[in-house]
Structure 1
């Protein structure tokens, strides 16, 4: 059996979630664990490259899908008020802020991947496609939020986004409904920044998970060709 065949088979076992004892042994071996890490690192690189480019960030549906409902409600209200231009500016500012989080997010994610163990690989095998991303998300989400939210906050304040939104939404009840009656007259800086940071973190994991799942499909097709 060639080295490539071994790697293809190992990747298929690691991502599909086969649970036989022999497959478990392969997936949790040093080769299987290396392949799992390579898949995750590839997804991280893909996601952070998207974050580094404003146009790519804005066009990515997986990032858009991660938009928190509170921020979506704010945007819907702005659009009803005929302020589509402000919505577009807000999205552009968030995309620009995302680029400033890349260097902070990368070492957190890479270190977490490099810390994966054979026990983690076994859990991933049992969990099936997407399980590797979920483990990474469990271990880094809070750390990522704590690390990037201040950067997002500083950048959005630099752009004056919060002030613009406060002025545009004055006289509406949208802020009161979002913050439960608190800060009803003003959109707190930390509020908009946290919403934006949540979108970035969850959007990044959406991309990583999609990359993991795409590899699973490719691996299956390749495996069929080497039998």
Structure 2
């Protein structure tokens, strides 16, 4: 729309008076084309709604196929995050410093505390990478516990319907399960020590950090789970949309070739 307005303004300022009427008409036509193109683009990008299961697929096959798809997606997402730099190397899931410290990271880097910030971020993300594998059994158990009604509703849902279902079903349980593992990993990676070194060094420059004591284990745990469900949603979307992601015969039967 801004482009359309700019075109009209340029036309008004630069064209001879006798030609302006024709040019206004062309500009209006062009503006309409731009709007229609944007509407068409928005429609193309809208999430796809799943079609009914292919002909001949039984309820049992549908249930097994969807559960297999979700198990495959879970294992892929966890494997991605559990590798070195699985969190740290991906800006979508990288665990940033908590609360007001997160808001001050740019300032701290500029005033000479880059190494302390980097050490703290590294320790948090390494802790998450070490612990995230503990989430797999919980999600797989939730997958196996799905009823046929759950399966049918999820299959017919949006591109991330299953991920949203599992996040609602398992997030609290995963928090409780993962936190002790995160705490142990944080001890191994030196998160608390890195936090102390950063705040001790930076308090003089940012007095607001004095006495700021967030629950680092909660922050890392919740951030790790947010990253897990983000990647699980991505894997689910791939299986629904991309034939190449359907890596078994059963997935191909249920979701199509």
Same fold by TM (over 0.5)? yes
1:169-184 equivalences in 2 (<5 Å): 169-171=202-204, 172-175=206-209
Of structures 1 and 2, the one scoring higher in RCO (CA 8 A, sep 6+) is 1
- Once the 2 structures are TM-superposed, how far is the Cα of residue 42 of structure 1 from its aligned partner? 1.6
Q: Tell me the residue number matched to 1:45.
A: 75
TM-score (norm 1): 0.72
How far apart, in 2, do the equivalents of 1:106 and 1:34 lie?
18
Of 140, 145, 148, 2:175 maps to 145
- Once the 2 structures are TM-superposed, how far is the Cα of residue 135 of structure 1 from its aligned partner? 0.4
1:79 maps to 2:109: yes
TM-score (norm 2): 0.65
Aligned-residue RMSD, C-alpha: 3.2
- Once the 2 structures are TM-superposed, how far is the Cα of residue 34 of structure 1 from its aligned partner? 1.4
1:134 maps to 2:192: no
- Once the 2 structures are TM-superposed, how far is the Cα of residue 77 of structure 1 from its aligned partner? 4.2
- Once the 2 structures are TM-superposed, how far is the Cα of residue 130 of structure 1 from its aligned partner? 0.3
Q: Tell me the residue number matched to 2:59.
A: 29
Count of residue pairs the alignment pairs up: 197
Of 182, 194, 197, 1:164 maps to 197
Q: Where does structure 1 lack aligned partners over 5 or more consecutive residues?
A: 1-14, 176-183
Q: Tell me the residue number matched to 1:5.
A: none
Of 114, 118, 123, 1:93 maps to 123
Give the greater-gyration-radius structure (CA). Answer: 2
Of 184, 189, 194, 1:154 maps to 184
Question: Which moves more between the two structures, 121-130 or 111-120?
Answer: 121-130
If each structure's helix is expressed as a fraction of its own residues, which one has the higher value? 1
